[in-house]
């Protein structure tokens, strides 16, 4: 019978401690990004926060430091290759090699596809898909050059959405971008499998954030919540377990996986 403890010391407990790790989070000025940065810091990681709104991301970094963590804020446009590279460079200067990457930045546009301006479609794709690609590619390049094949600590997590598999009317571009993100993550996982870089996806259900708050306050939005099996929205903290697992050494054998965490909303 195969020893189930192969790959780690016998009786060694599963450990989600992120001490010694350097995590970079995009879209970190609010919502899930700000939450992820805080959770990673409290687990011991040094955190690089990137977002377009420098004042807000700076405030979150300051809050993390007041809480005893280590963090820096960078102004980041994920659609711009030079801006992404500069964000990683700032993180390396402050803390060393970024070994944990959370590509979270995202935007949406709601309305009938027949009425969607082409520039709005392009913006959704630029942030959600191009931005995730540029973030993952920069992280992958630096991890490979930094010896991930030897240390095996490379972790890249792309944030998708349950709408990738179960889209709603009025979010055609958003759903398409998130489906592409999930597919891209699997392709990158295959490409970097032998180079010590694990690439996975967190696919959240509906959580109240700045992007959708107004929608869920409408009568139609409330009716959507009522259709969920538990008749409620998920919460950001529901994602913490998967986030910490995938960012940790415990995820050594996990790559190319999509973790759907939606409180049963898609059942």
- Residues annotated catalytic, as ranges: 174
Number of Cβ within 10 Å of residue 225's Cβ equals 15
What's the rounded Cα separation, in Å, for the pair 239 and 249?
18
Query: Which residue, among 246, 93, 31, has the nearest Cα to 156 in the 3D structure?
Result: 246
* Distances, alpha carbon 145 to alpha carbons 87, 94, 107, 197, 249, in Å: 17, 18, 31, 11, 20
Pinpoint the alpha helices (H) of the chain. 31-42, 54-66, 81-95, 118-125, 131-145, 148-151, 172-191, 213-216, 219-227, 240-247
Q: Are 85 and 91 in contact (CB under 8 A)?
A: no
Q: How far apart are CA 34 and CA 99, in angstroms?
A: 19
The H helix count followed by the E strand count for the chain is 10, 7
- Asked if residue 188 lies in contact with residue 248, where contact means CB atoms within 8 angstroms, the answer is no
Distance CA 122, CA 101 (A): 24
Cα gap 166→72, rounded to integer Å = 36
Handedness of CA 252, 50, 83, 120 (dihedral sign): positive
- For residue 234, give both structure tokens: 């998920």
Q: What is the DSSP letter of 13?
A: P
């Amino acid at each position: 019978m195969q020893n189930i403890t192969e790959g780690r010391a016998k009786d060694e407990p599963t450990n989600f401690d992120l001490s010694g790790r350097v995590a970079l989070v995009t879209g970190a000025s609010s919502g899930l990004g700000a939450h992820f940065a805080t959770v990673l810091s409290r687990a011991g990681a040094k955190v690089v926060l990137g977002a377009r709104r420098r004042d807000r991301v700076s405030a979150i970094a300051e809050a993390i430091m007041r809480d005893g963590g280590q963090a820096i804020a960078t102004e980041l446009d994920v659609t711009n290759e030079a801006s992404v590279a500069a964000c990683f460079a700032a993180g390396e200067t402050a803390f060393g090699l970024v070994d944990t990457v959370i590509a979270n930045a995202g935007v949406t546009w709601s309305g009938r596809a027949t009425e969607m301006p082409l520039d709005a479609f392009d913006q959704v794709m630029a942030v959600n898909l191009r931005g995730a690609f540029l973030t993952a590619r920069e992280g992958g390049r630096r991890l490979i050059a930094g010896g991930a094949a030897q240390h095996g600590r490379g972790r890249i997590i792309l944030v998708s959405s349950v709408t990738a598999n179960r889209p709603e009317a009025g979010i055609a571009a958003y759903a398409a971008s998130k489906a592409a993100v999930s597919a891209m993550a699997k392709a990158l996982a295959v490409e970097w499998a032998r180079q010590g870089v694990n690439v996975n996806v967190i696919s959240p259900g509906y959580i109240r954030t700045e992007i959708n708050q107004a929608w869920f306050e409408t009568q139609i939005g409330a009716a959507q919540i009522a259709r969920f099996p538990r008749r409620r929205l998920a919460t950001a903290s529901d994602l913490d377990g998967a986030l910490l697992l995938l960012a940790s050494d415990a995820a050594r054998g996990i790559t190319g996986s999509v973790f759907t965490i939606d409180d049963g909303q898609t059942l």
